[in-house]
Amino acid sequence: MSSAGDAIRGAAARLAATSDTARLDAEILMAHALRCSRSDMLLRRMPDPSPAKFERLVERRLGHEPVAYIIGVQEFFGREFRVDREVLIPRPDSETAIEAALDVLGDRRSGEIVDLGTGSGALLLTLLAERPGFTGIGLDRSEGALRVARDNAERLGLAARARFHRTDWTMPGPHGDAWYTALPLADLVIANPPYVEADADLAPDVREHEPAGALFAGADGLDDYRIIIPALRAMLIEGGAAVLEIGARQGDEVTGLAQAAGFAVEIRNDLAARPRAVILS
């Protein structure tokens, strides 16, 4: 049997056909098989032989299953979040929305945050961790996603300040009223709604494994913005603001929807200089 180091090299060569980060993937999977961090693994002598579990993990990655789903966690803004196939995997691009939201909150010491389409809870829980005086509520139409979000709140010690509720903004409220009627007024609304066009050509990792309901939003990818943006005024306190993540080519369209609803708009770019979030105030 091969050593762990040899197994990593062999796996990286096999994964190169399906992953742009083949060596990194192999190292993360080996660390998971060894039940240690990747940094600890790289700093110590790797065991001989390689753990049998490693090959099973590699086979899953060769089937385009994302590494985060295989190991069950994903780092975001310096914290580790549990993920499974009920939720989108938090991505570095979404840190642009976090940074914009923190700028919006400024030096406020307390208040309420509403997270639309909370998924794993990564956006809401990151903001609550960064702003200890705030409370928040995360909404999602998926009960499976809400279970993941609640678990992450517990793991991060934030359960006392985070509530999670099942809500579908494409449907009326339980009494025939607006879907947002029962929500507290918010200092900040943050959302990473579905924004992918229905016929978009996605990588197999995304198309075959991540939840379609959290990805697709009609022919032009704007269906959810058309529902959310007109509702925001009724959801915010006076002087409140919203931060919405957007697709890299959606800045003009979302700006137009927001301006039609009476908002001033600021676009924030991600590290690749692509539009990634809008601030509506």
140 is known to lie in a ligand binding site: yes
Q: Which residue has the tokens 């990194």?
A: 24
Q: CA-CA distance, 105 to 95, in Å (whole number)?
A: 15
Cβ burial 174-196 (10 Å sphere, 16+ → b, else e): eeeeebbeebeebbbbbbbbbbb
Q: Could you say which DSSP state residue 177 is in?
A: S
180 is known to lie in a ligand binding site: no
192 is known to lie in a ligand binding site: yes
169 is known to lie in a ligand binding site: yes
**Residue 94 is encoded by which pair of tokens?**
């979404």
> Do residues 222 and 195 lie in contact, with contact meaning Cβ atoms separated by under 8 Å?
yes
Q: CA-CA distance, 240 to 216, in Å (whole number)?
A: 28
> Do residues 95 and 76 lie in contact, with contact meaning Cβ atoms separated by under 8 Å?
yes
> Do residues 269 and 276 lie in contact, with contact meaning Cβ atoms separated by under 8 Å?
yes
119 is known to lie in a ligand binding site: yes
193 is known to lie in a ligand binding site: yes
Q: CA-CA distance, 145 to 38, in Å (whole number)?
A: 27
Cβ burial 224-234 (10 Å sphere, 16+ → b, else e): bbeebbebbee
Is 252 exposed, middle or buried, given 0-12, 13-18 or 19+ CB atoms closer than 10 A? Answer: exposed
173 is known to lie in a ligand binding site: no
HEC-encoded secondary structure of 224-257 = HHHHHHHHHHHHEEEEEEEEEECCCCCHHHHHHH
120 is known to lie in a ligand binding site: yes
Annotated binding site for substrate: 192-195
Q: Point out the annotated binding site.
A: 117-121, 140, 169, 192-195
- Summarize the annotated binding site for S-adenosyl-L-methionine as residue ranges: 117-121, 140, 169, 192
